[in-house]
Structure 1
């Protein structure tokens, strides 16, 4: 599980910002190091106005995952690292970008991080915690390596000329090195992290055509989800395509088509994916990812969750990640939103707890600041949505009403006739 993520010099995140996925009001963190008391949160929401930088928090975590998974395969020698440093200050274009995670995997905790500039990995490190004692799995400073617990890893690094733009973790995870810490951290990023941005219908169509995913239980749960959203869909059916001898010979996956049975005036009508609304497809996309995350214990990161789900459905999704029966493998949901309804109560139930809410705002220089709602002392009868809209927490846009009206005014009627 993800305990903490720190990032510096990524897009609008110029100075180091930290997102805690444990209660930030507890004493579980001291000087940026994880302590034993921190209980990971199943849900974390990041709120802020448009262009405040909230999406950049998840984008930075996604960039870190891409570097870990693909830097060894995709980076040509001497090629550039496709990072996005803070662009509003020329000084930071040349400064390194840094990414750090604190993870709890099985019974151990790990800290892994790296710093990169446009052409090389400047530093990289992996620490293992047994109780509160820190062990150095490896430390990298440019082309120099050191290790206390993985001597064979450093021997490998001295034999293999690891490119300057490739992470040691990415190379070591694919090598003969049998190190539990390396395999665990790499495996978390490759198998337990999923990022959801805007709807990609081509990707959704591909995932919906693979029959191995669709058993009766999954179809039933997706049907319940779509029915709860009042889509008019009574049930789903997966029609498998006939396999040809060539498919069997080449060991191709079974494929098919998902059929949506809609309620009509007198009978049901089977419709295809092309007949569904954008809202239904978006809901189906999130539903598939959420069910997979809950089943396998992933961290699911969703950017602009309010663009795909209504507040009521979002509240239901959040509650499913909190429910021990629905989430036995301790999956986590991290999302961004500017839907203020999620800061209050829906149908009499509090959607998010104080420790699950983070806020972002930009200063006059274009830098994003990330901070927890728990840093504000609660009122006796706190109305978070009202206080948020009133600017009591910051993280709201400063709109010039007159300038906004002028910008939208029709200046030449011939332009719209």
Structure 2
């Protein structure tokens, strides 16, 4: 899957930055490495299965993920009425006279259903300055729509006549089009929402819940177990248990209003993850099994790998794109290597 993502003048970026998953014209000494990490779309396009961004502190690595996350959020949500009076959450680069007055620039090139699309927009805090969507139906790039401030020209293929007048100055035409059931816009936003995932390597609470839900709902359960065993984290098995909370089982120090809120909102289940470890005698022979609590007795690295397991399997199994910021944080280099492999 091709993703070329360009941003300019966004959160500490002095120059435009382009991140492309297109294979670079580099040949490794080990040709098997090239073959393993590259796949062909057609005769003209080869894509990398994985890529890494390296750089010094404060060089903008995390901002690339942040900007892509904002772009996706804005594309999906800008048409909502709750955003009608909100400022657009872009930030000009303040340390250059060349860029401080320029709008922020975002563009993404991607493949969807065998066709190549190029979508982008420019925006300030107050309004969308320009917006465009092109695609390649056969061999030549063709316009689907193009916007300059409030003037929006739309092709017949896009089928969105009349929606121009319904687009606010601080909303994206693509987002409004999807709201009014324009099929191309709906498919693009569905693709972006469900096929491209961003996670933080510093805060794993969100995707840990996803991994747990996969295990409890038997979604990719076997594959997740196989991945955890292959990474050799020191335990032989994982057990997920759900227990009911009752008014009597709350900690005594928990305020009554919190207890009432939990019960009122149906938050009456607690999920715990346990890992199974073998205990050995002095001769080195296994004699029994010890149960560890994942959150309290396993290392932070093990906790992170467990949290990543669900998104990793989902990505590999379903051909999605997974972007992990601070991937190596709290993980041993050999574990990082094994996951990439």
* Distance in 1 of aligned mates of 2:232 and 2:110: 39
* Ranges in structure 2 where 5+ consecutive residues have no aligned partner: 27-41, 247-264, 281-286
Q: Choose the corresponding residue for 1:188, options 180, 187, 191.
A: 191
The alpha-carbon distance between structure 1 residues 148 and 216, as it changes in their structure 2 partners (threshold 3 A), is closer
The TM-score, its normalising length taken from structure 2, stands at 0.78
Q: Is the 8 A contact 1:11 1:56 kept in 2?
A: yes
The alpha-carbon distance between structure 1 residues 72 and 213, as it changes in their structure 2 partners (threshold 3 A), is farther
* Distance in 1 of aligned mates of 2:327 and 2:146: 37
SS at match of 2:52: strand
Q: Choose the corresponding residue for 2:57, options 46, 50, 57.
A: 50
The TM-score, its normalising length taken from structure 1, stands at 0.65
Q: Is the 8 A contact 2:115 2:137 kept in 1?
A: yes
Does the alignment pair 1:165 with 2:170? yes
The alpha-carbon distance between structure 1 residues 140 and 279, as it changes in their structure 2 partners (threshold 3 A), is same
The residue aligned with 2:250 is none
The residue aligned with 1:271 is 292
Cα offset, 1:102, TM superposition: 0.8
Does the alignment pair 1:95 with 2:95? no
Cα offset, 1:114, TM superposition: 0.5
Cα offset, 1:7, TM superposition: 1.2
* Distance in 2 of aligned mates of 1:168 and 1:105: 19
* Distance in 2 of aligned mates of 1:199 and 1:214: 26
The residue aligned with 2:241 is 239
Cα offset, 1:227, TM superposition: 3.7
* Distance in 2 of aligned mates of 1:210 and 1:22: 34
* Distance in 2 of aligned mates of 1:138 and 1:254: 49
* Distance in 1 of aligned mates of 2:209 and 2:322: 20
The residue aligned with 2:332 is 310
The alpha-carbon distance between structure 1 residues 212 and 254, as it changes in their structure 2 partners (threshold 3 A), is farther
The residue aligned with 2:79 is 72
SS at match of 1:280: helix
1:370-381 paired onto structure 2 within 5 Å: none
1:10-409 paired onto structure 2 within 5 Å: 10-25=10-25, 37-73=44-80, 76-90=83-97, 92-150=99-157, 152-158=159-165, 160=166, 162-177=167-182, 179-180=183-184, 182-204=185-207, 206-210=209-213, 214-215=217-218, 218=221, 220-241=222-243, 256-265=271-280, 266-275=287-296, 276-319=298-341
* Distance in 1 of aligned mates of 2:49 and 2:268: 34
* Distance in 2 of aligned mates of 1:271 and 1:208: 18
* Distance in 1 of aligned mates of 2:134 and 2:268: 40
Q: Is the 8 A contact 2:144 2:158 kept in 1?
A: no
SS at match of 2:19: strand
The alpha-carbon distance between structure 1 residues 46 and 208, as it changes in their structure 2 partners (threshold 3 A), is closer
* Distance in 2 of aligned mates of 1:318 and 1:301: 12
Cα offset, 1:112, TM superposition: 0.4
The residue aligned with 1:357 is none
The residue aligned with 2:6 is 6
Number of residues paired by the alignment?
302
Q: Is the 8 A contact 2:128 2:171 kept in 1?
A: yes
Q: Is the 8 A contact 2:21 2:47 kept in 1?
A: yes
The alpha-carbon distance between structure 1 residues 144 and 295, as it changes in their structure 2 partners (threshold 3 A), is same
The alpha-carbon distance between structure 1 residues 150 and 23, as it changes in their structure 2 partners (threshold 3 A), is same
* Distance in 2 of aligned mates of 1:290 and 1:119: 38
Write the deviation string for residues 22-76 of structure 1: whole angstroms up to 9, x where unpaired.
Answer: 12339xxxxxxxx971222111111112222222222222221121122223753
* Distance in 1 of aligned mates of 2:43 and 2:132: 21
Q: Which deviates further from its counterpart, 69-78 or 288-297?
A: 69-78
Structure having greater relative contact order (Cα 8 Å, sep ≥ 6): 1
Write the deviation string for residues 148-186 of structure 1: whole angstroms up to 9, x where unpaired.
Answer: 13464131222x2x2211111112112232x33x23321
* Distance in 2 of aligned mates of 1:283 and 1:140: 44
The residue aligned with 2:257 is none
The alpha-carbon distance between structure 1 residues 39 and 313, as it changes in their structure 2 partners (threshold 3 A), is same
Q: Is the 8 A contact 2:109 2:119 kept in 1?
A: yes
Cα offset, 1:241, TM superposition: 4.8
* Distance in 2 of aligned mates of 1:216 and 1:70: 29
Cα offset, 1:83, TM superposition: 1.2
Q: Is the 8 A contact 1:211 1:238 kept in 2?
A: no
